[in-house]
Amino acid sequence: MATPTRATAAGTARFFLRHAGAVVADHVRRLGDLSLSSVGLGSYLAPPDDATDLRYEAAVARSLALGANVVDAAIVYRHQRSERAIGRALRAAAAAGVGRDEVVVATKAGFLGFDGAPPPDARAYFQRVIVDAGLAGWDEIAAGGHCLAPRFLADQLARSRANLGLATIDVFYLHNPETQLDELDRATFRRRMRAAFEVLEEARAAGAIARYGLATWFGLREPPSARVHLDLVELVELAREVGGAGHGLEVVQAPLNPTLREAALAPTQRGRPLLAVAADLGLYVMSSASIMQGKLAPDAAAARAALDWTRTRPGLGTALVGTSRAEHVEANAGVFRLVGSGA
């Protein structure tokens, strides 16, 4: 039998079977036929250095051991080092018996980024590795550092797969696509999003990604009057135009926590909140900033309270928490681990 290259229904079910009796009943969520944890590990914060890489590897290992099987990254996080640390952690997990098919791995592309560390001259670096390399022209780069050009996205996907050591990425997001609206009119933005969806549908057909999504910050929680507003119904319709009824736009990400409540409560999507509209569209939602990047966590009890508020919002799939420390992973797991369950 061939080794699985992506998360599968059987693999993710097996993961939670091992944790049966150790996690609360609402911890397991469904993305199609996949089983996902209600809390996932993010990898945005912390310095781009070797010590942090090692801490992220340990954090991923502890997260998997405690029953959380969602890991989130972006190629620009810590200048590609987060992806590479996660890749090493996944290889170590496989050696320890956690199969590739048990873990849902997500990453993102859209922002221009560096490799390992910032160069002395960022513009000269981008000129060389992006413009001169034929991946995009400066006229395709918005807000000084955001790009949805097809060649650029294809390049970033290839780099992310290499960084993570994966044949197939389970969720590949367009990273804050609303950034383009800082400069573009709506018609040009739509054309660029359509071209991006075409690239992602091609990648899905080739097996490089299993599905794609939109990882946003402002776009889905700002009102329609805002310049950066994203209309989720319109974007799903665009994906359907490109990929047909079986298109791969299946996941969205937006900030949600006790202080940033718009995704759950504000009528930003045709008069209704994001979570309600996403549910009607059959989209899985992951929250970023689930404890406001630590600002809602003056202590472990406060962090758990904020995280539990986020992960229990109706319509939310997975609450992502960025942490490079295994002890914080363990503390956060208190929202879904049963008392006395061990591990």
- Assigned domain for 1 exists: no
The answer to the question of residue 106 being in a domain is yes
Residue 338 confidence (pLDDT) above 80 = yes
For 79-96, how does the pLDDT look when each residue is reduced to its tens digit (9 = 90+)? Answer: 999 999 999 999 999 999
Percent of the chain having pLDDT more than 90? 94
Please report the pLDDT score of residue 3 as a whole number. 79
Q: Is the pLDDT of residue 1 over 70?
A: no
pLDDT given for residue 198 in this prediction: 98
Would you say the pTM of this structure is higher than 0.75?
yes
In terms of residue numbers, what domain contains 78?
Answer: 9-335
Domain assignment present for 215? yes
pLDDT at residue 20 greater than cutoff 90: yes
- Predicted confidence at residue 36, as pLDDT, reads 98
Q: Do the domain assignments include residue 4?
A: no
Cβ atoms of 104 and 12 within 8 Å: the answer is yes
Whether 3 is covered by a domain: the verdict is: no
Q: Quick one: DSSP state of residue 209? A: B
Kindly give, in sequence order, each residue whose CB lies less than 8 Å from that of residue 121, ignoring residues fewer than 6 positions away. Answer: none
Query: Tokens 């942090």 label which residue?
Result: 52
Count: domains in the chain: 1
Instruction: Report the pLDDT averaged over residues 160-165.
Output: 98
CATH of the domain at 114: 3.20.20.100
Contact (CB, 8 A) for 257 and 316: no
Report how far residue 56's alpha carbon sits from residue 43's, in angstroms, rounded to the nearest whole number. 8
Ranking 132-136, 183-187, 295-299, 330-334 by mean pLDDT, the lowest is 295-299
Taking the CB of residue 250, how many other CB atoms lie within 10 A of it? 18
Residue-wise pLDDT tens digits, 267-304: 999 999 999 999 999 999 999 999 987 777 788 888 89
- Burial (CB < 10 A; 0-12, 13-18, 19+), residue 80, is buried
Q: Model confidence over 222-250: pLDDT tens digits?
A: 999 999 999 999 999 999 999 999 999 99
What is residue 80's predicted lDDT score, i.e. its pLDDT? 98
Neighbours of 78 (CB within 10 A): 26
Q: Which residues contact 102 (CB under 8 A, 6 or more apart)?
A: 7, 11, 12, 14, 15, 69
Q: Quick one: average pLDDT of 253-267?
A: 97
Question: Which pLDDT belongs to residue 308?
Answer: 95
For the chain, give the percent of residues with pLDDT over 70: 99
Q: How far is CA 29 from CA 32, 89, 194, 219, in A?
A: 10, 23, 30, 25
- Asked whether residue 2 carries a pLDDT value surpassing 80, the answer given is no
Indicate the average pLDDT of the chain: 96
Domain membership of residue 150 (yes or no) is: yes
DSSP structure class, residue 269: B
Structure-token match 């009890």, residue found = 301
- Read off the pLDDT of residues 173-223 as tens digits, 9 standing for 90 and up: 999 999 999 999 999 999 999 999 999 999 999 999 999 999 999 999 999
In a domain, 342, yes or no: no
| Whole-number Å distance between alpha carbons of 37 and 156 | 27
Mean pLDDT of 23-28: 97
Report yes or no on 257 lying in a domain: yes
